[in-house]
Homo-oligomer: A and B are copies of this chain.
């Protein structure tokens, strides 16, 4: 990459930025295994103190690194079609969760969280619960517009939707492909959708191309980066 050209040997806040980037690069290359403080320090050409001065543990570093890449382009769209919006977002999130930068870091955090209940709570509060909340917001709007039944318990629905995706990407060995997302949405819409009872059309979505043209789920919204500040923005599902 574009490593520091000369050698502006040391800075205060720029180092923090660089260390986060190095952590993500390292995670993308070597995965969770071999991802430690010393590895990051070596990779960045940095003393371990420089890391410990910023984060108390590897877990904290990982959380910040995760915020950096998991926060940005993750808001749900609202085209008026819940199912399409959810589908687009789920596919995008599923891809992200399985891809080099985010996947390994997420795995690392989850692994360490198994031995640290405090970290587990932080992980849940800072990421999982936030993701559920975004999902809940989106389907709540759909409920208000009449796309979903009024008596649907959307809190649980949001958890089920997000939980299934996390389960599949992090615990299962199956990929989050269109088939999986459609199956999940089939069940969700069958339960709480108000339009045509049989919106399902179980799987086999690949047999015929998506008829929709106007609301083509082409994920190319390219959300304008609101701000690239290092503030840990909440992610979405």
Q: List chain A positions with a Cβ less than 8 A from chain B.
A: 31-33, 107-108, 110-116, 120-121, 123-125, 128, 150-153, 155-157, 159-160, 162-164, 166-168, 170-173, 180, 183-184, 186-188, 190-192, 198-200, 202-203, 218-219, 221, 223
> A139 CB to closest chain B CB, in angstroms?
12
Cα distance A199–B150 in the bound complex, in angstroms: 13
Cα distance A121–B173 in the bound complex, in angstroms: 6
A166: chain B residues within 8 A (beta carbon): 163, 167, 171
One of B153, B168, B186, B203 near A159 (C-beta < 8 A): B168
One of B114, B156, B163 near A32 (C-beta < 8 A): B114
A218: chain B residues within 8 A (beta carbon): 151
A186: chain B residues within 8 A (beta carbon): 153, 156, 191
One of B115, B156, B202 near A107 (C-beta < 8 A): B115
One of B151, B167, B199 near A167 (C-beta < 8 A): B167
One of B155, B157, B172 near A128 (C-beta < 8 A): B172
Q: Please determine whether A187 and B160 come into contact, CB atoms closer than 8 angstroms.
A: yes
> A161 CB to closest chain B CB, in angstroms?
9
Q: Please determine whether B160 and A110 come into contact, CB atoms closer than 8 angstroms.
A: no
Q: Please determine whether A203 and B160 come into contact, CB atoms closer than 8 angstroms.
A: no
> A54 CB to closest chain B CB, in angstroms?
24
Q: A113-B171, A159-B164 are in contact. List 7 more A-B contacts (CB 8 A).
A: A32-B115, A111-B114, A120-B173, A123-B171, A150-B221, A153-B183, A153-B203
One of B107, B150, B184 near A160 (C-beta < 8 A): B184
> A25 CB to closest chain B CB, in angstroms?
18
Residue of B nearest to A121 (CB): B173
Most buried by B among A113, A114, A152, A180: A114
